[in-house]
């Protein structure tokens, strides 16, 4: 049997080998399998009786590593439970231990084994980009792959941290943030120039050479060399004053003040650490919090907390090893990583991160000085964040238990799905699903549904709900018919009354899903919050008392679904508003569309242009020009 993942690349086309025995499980099974293994590096998988992956591990020597599990005693409670549940194993040899570590992390992210440490928050981090595909580079926020030409600075912990820094950079260095098409079509300076946030390159108020000097200063600042910038600005201000260019001297004075304010507003400015990630782990009650502080250019660029799944009881060295391998899977490691605890397989992890960075990565647990203070600060934040999360989790558990009692559920729901839709007279209709559980709102599980049914009449909320739920549960039945995963809901909440609830129950019944409770939440008298009425299929409606915490909890769930649905609708409406006839021309993608709009100024001007004029636009070939010309001149 082979279940190699699509992103696996086994060496020499060697498939993984699979071993099981109907008669053997646990220690006995592992003892039998050890005899079949050699001393190669590789990856092993432990599976239970239902072939669900319990654990994925890597080994420098498969025979030696797996033989450790064959011992009948001497294991932690976590490992002992895992061994007892093991009914079969899979093995895949690799050329090196580093290759095994890479494959192990790929499989962990794909299979999510219950006994492995798993980093659950995989959102990308924002960066600052000084785009250099234009004579006057643009300053902007950037996420995702670094494919655009320019200088990147980051990562920042959050979009707000980037926005604050961008605001400061505009005050000090006066770089433009407008798009190339807006820049191309300006005839007079914009408001940012008036409030001294831009040098006005769009209308020639700064030369290309002087603007390039501003760009260079911004890059020096983001690299941590702000002292020399301030000295240069002071010299320029003195020279302007001596030449009686008082307006220019005043502008330079304002820039110096802005730069001073930026330097004073930075929270933690380590003098001896130019570039590092400070990573601290606090473990309590089987739950973990990892705090990451980003230090770049001797400045703190924010922090982010993570709550990795600890694999049913892993210790600090194993958690940090898994965290580092997964955290830096899609982002370049910094030159230095400061840690609160030692890491399992430290040399191997350092080798992996250095290979990803393309240079040596210094990874250490500091023992003295400023670096220890940075780690202690991160560790304090991790401890406090986990304490707040545990307190919130306890409160959440009480709310879920109260909700189960109020709705006559057998057990507190571990996953609640709340559905809503949003539209204006049936246009740009969007359905939304939000998810809540033991840890509050699970935003990574939210889903948007573009309503596309041809048979749905404008404003048909029942039809929209039918399409949304049919798509959702059809996919669930295909992907997890046995309901063994964590994606099946224990409760559906619908914004609506008896009619909506009856319709939803009918939709689920048609799909053969009859054991998922459905509850409708309808506004009560005068549609006032606090007077909600709850509806269940075939049962009389009821209400909760006005000050019941469970009522407030349900209101938050409903309001979050409403907020998410409206946001998705507005985004779709804004996108539709920005569409032009150019979007309908085959072969004219986003790049050529921007080129045409930048050259002609509007879609209407493109429609009026002659063939020769179209061919004069940058990046537009004769074939594309003919296609555009024919589209506008053969309509109707």
CATH architecture classification, 415-575: 2-Layer Sandwich (3.30)
Residue 430 backbone dihedrals phi, psi, to 5 degrees: -135, 135
Q: What is the pLDDT of residues 375-401, one digit of tens each?
A: 999 999 999 888 888 877 888 889 999
Q: Which residues, including other chains, have CB under 8 Å from residue 105's CB and lie 6 or more apart?
A: 322, 325, 326, 329
User: Which range is least confidently modeled, 203-212, 434-443, 517-526?
Assistant: 517-526
User: Which range is least confidently modeled, 13-17, 250-254, 604-608?
Assistant: 13-17
Q: What is the pLDDT of residues 555-573, one digit of tens each?
A: 889 889 888 888 876 776 6
Residue matched to tokens 């054991």: 515
10 Å Cβ neighbour count for 284? Answer: 13
Q: Say which CATH topology domain 11-115 has.
A: GIY-YIG endonuclease (3.40.1440)
Q: Which residue has the higher pLDDT, 440 or 529?
A: 440
Where does the chain hold its CATH 3.30.420.340 domain(s)?
275-386, 415-575
Give me the torsion for CA of 150, 156, 161, 166, rounded to 10°.
Answer: -10
Give me the torsion for CA of 211, 216, 219, 223, rounded to 10°.
Answer: -160
Over residues 361-382, the mean pLDDT reads 92
Q: Is the pLDDT at 227 greater than 80, yes or no?
A: no
What top-level class would CATH report for the domain 581-633? mainly alpha
Residue matched to tokens 């420098």: 60
Distance from C-alpha of 118 to C-alpha of 323, rounded to nearest angstrom: 7
Per-residue pLDDT band at 427 (split at 50, 70, 90): low
CA atoms within 13 A on the CB side of 403: 28
pLDDT of residue 454: 60
Residue 171 Cα to chain centre, angstroms: 30
Per-residue pLDDT band at 229 (split at 50, 70, 90): confident
Degrees, nearest 5: CA angle 56-57-63: 125
Distance from C-alpha of 535 to C-alpha of 542, rounded to nearest angstrom: 7
Q: What is the pLDDT of residues 407-425, one digit of tens each?
A: 999 899 999 999 988 765 5
DSSP helix, strand, coil percent of the chain (3-state; round to 5): 45, 20, 35
Residue (of 591, 594, 589, 632) closest to 610 by Cα position: 632
Per-residue pLDDT band at 90 (split at 50, 70, 90): very high
Q: What is the pLDDT of residues 44-89, one digit of tens each?
A: 999 988 888 999 999 999 999 999 998 888 888 889 999 999 999 9
Residue matched to tokens 């580079």: 137
Give me the torsion for CA of 349, 353, 355, 356, rounded to 10°.
Answer: 140
Average pLDDT, the chain: 83
pLDDT of residue 226: 64
Give how far Cα 29 sits from Cα of 91, 202, 401, 407, Å.
14, 73, 41, 46
Q: What is the pLDDT of residues 459-487, one digit of tens each?
A: 567 778 888 888 899 888 888 887 777 78
Give how far Cα 236 sits from Cα of 66, 71, 226, 245, 251, Å.
69, 75, 15, 11, 11
Per-residue pLDDT band at 13 (split at 50, 70, 90): very low
Contact indicator for 487, 480 with CB cutoff of 8 Å: yes
Contact indicator for 176, 136 with CB cutoff of 8 Å: yes
CA atoms within 13 A on the CB side of 105: 23
pLDDT of residue 6: 38
Give how far Cα 54 sits from Cα of 10, 108, 391, Å.
21, 10, 29
Where does the chain hold its CATH 1.10.150.20 domain(s)?
581-633
10 Å Cβ neighbour count for 514? Answer: 9
Q: Which residue has the higher pLDDT, 582 or 28?
A: 28
pLDDT above 70 covers a percentage of the chain that reads: 88
Distance from C-alpha of 147 to C-alpha of 562, rounded to nearest angstrom: 36
Domain range 275-386, its CATH number among 3.30.420.340, 3.30.2350.10, 3.10.129.10, 3.20.20.70: 3.30.420.340
Over residues 228-233, the mean pLDDT reads 73
Where does the chain hold its CATH 3.40.1440.10 domain(s)?
11-115
Contact indicator for 596, 628 with CB cutoff of 8 Å: yes
Per-residue pLDDT band at 269 (split at 50, 70, 90): low
Token pair for residue 595? 């080129």
Q: Which residues, including other chains, have CB under 8 Å from residue 223's CB and lie 6 or more apart?
A: 153, 297
Per-residue pLDDT band at 245 (split at 50, 70, 90): confident
Q: Is the pLDDT at 149 greater than 50, yes or no?
A: yes
Q: Is the pLDDT at 201 greater than 90, yes or no?
A: yes
DSSP structure class, residue 14: P
Distance from C-alpha of 374 to C-alpha of 452, rounded to nearest angstrom: 52
Distance from C-alpha of 95 to C-alpha of 319, rounded to nearest angstrom: 25
User: Which range is least confidently modeled, 300-304, 339-343, 425-429, 559-563?
Assistant: 425-429
């Amino acid at each position: 049997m082979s279940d190699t993942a699509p992103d696996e690349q086994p060496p020499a086309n060697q498939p993984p080998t699979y071993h099981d025995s109907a008669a053997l499980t646990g220690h006995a099974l592992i003892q039998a399998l050890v005899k079949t293994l050699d001393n190669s590096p590789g990856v092993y998988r432990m599976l239970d009786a239902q072939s669900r992956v319990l654990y994925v591990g890597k080994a420098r020597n498969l025979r030696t590593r797996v033989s450790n599990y064959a011992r009948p005693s001497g294991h932690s409670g976590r490992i002992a439970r895992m061994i007892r549940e093991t009914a079969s194993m899979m093995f895949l040899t690799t050329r090196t231990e580093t290759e095994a570590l890479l494959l192990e992390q790929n499989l962990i992210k794909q299979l999510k084994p219950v006994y492995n440490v798993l980093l659950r928050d995989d959102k990308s981090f924002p960066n600052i980009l000084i785009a250099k595909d234009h004579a006057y580079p643009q300053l902007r926020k950037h996420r995702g792959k670094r494919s655009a030409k320019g200088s990147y600075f980051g990562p920042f912990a959050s979009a707000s941290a980037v926005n604050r820094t961008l605001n400061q950079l505009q005050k000090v260095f006066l770089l433009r943030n407008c798009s190339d098409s807006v820049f191309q079509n300006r005839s007079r300076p914009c408001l940012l120039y008036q409030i001294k946030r831009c040098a006005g390159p769009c209308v020639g108020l700064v030369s290309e050479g002087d603007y390039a000097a501003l760009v260079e200063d911004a890059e020096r600042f983001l690299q941590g060399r702000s002292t020399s910038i301030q000295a240069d600005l002071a010299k320029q201000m003195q020279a302007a004053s001596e030449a009686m260019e008082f307006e220019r001297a005043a502008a330079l004075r304002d820039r110096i003040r802005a730069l001073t304010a930026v330097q004073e507003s930075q929270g933690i400015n380590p003098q001896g650490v130019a570039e590092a990630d400070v990573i601290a782990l606090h473990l309590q009650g089987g739950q973990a919090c990892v705090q990451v502080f980003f230090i770049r250019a001797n400045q703190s660029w924010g922090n982010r907390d993570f709550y990795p799944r600890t694999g049913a009881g892993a210790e600090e060295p194993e958690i940090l090893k898994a965290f580092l391998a997964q955290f830096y899977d899609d982002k370049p490691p910094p030159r230095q990583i400061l840690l609160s605890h030692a890491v399992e397989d430290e040399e191997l992890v350092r080798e992996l991160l250095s290979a990803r960075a393309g240079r040596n990565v210094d990874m250490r647990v500091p023992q003295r000085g400023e670096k220890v203070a940075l780690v202690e600060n991160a560790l304090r934040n991790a401890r406090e964040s986990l304490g707040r999360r545990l307190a919130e989790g306890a409160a959440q558990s009480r709310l879920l238990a109260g909700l189960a009692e109020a709705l006559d559920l057998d057990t507190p729901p571990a996953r609640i799905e709340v559905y809503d839709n949003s539209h204006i007279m049936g246009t740009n209709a969007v359905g939304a699903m939000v998810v809540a559980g033991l840890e509050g709102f699970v935003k990574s599980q939210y889903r948007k549904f573009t309503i596309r049914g041809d048979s749905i009449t404008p404003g048909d909320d029942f039809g929209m709900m039918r399409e949304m739920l049919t798509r959702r549960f059809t996919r669930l039945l295909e992907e997890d018919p046995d309901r063994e995963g964590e994606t099946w809901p224990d409760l559906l909440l619908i914004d609506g009354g008896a009619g909506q609830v009856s319709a939803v129950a009918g939709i689920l019944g048609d799909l053969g899903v009859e054991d998922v409770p459905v509850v409708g939440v309808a506004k009560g008298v005068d549609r006032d919050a606090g007077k909600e009425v709850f509806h269940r299929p075939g049962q009389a409606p009821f209400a909760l008392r006005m000050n019941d915490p469970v009522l407030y909890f349900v209101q938050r769930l409903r309001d979050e679904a409403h907020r998410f649905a409206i946001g998705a609708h507005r985004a779709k409406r804004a996108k539709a508003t920005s569409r032009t006839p150019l979007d309908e021309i085959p072969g004219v993608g986003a790049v050529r569309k921007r080129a045409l709009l930048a050259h002609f100024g509007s879609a209407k001007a493109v429609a009026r242009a002659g063939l020769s004029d179209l061919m004069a636009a940058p990046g537009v070939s004769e074939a594309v020009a003919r296609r555009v010309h024919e589209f506008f001149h053969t309509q109707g």
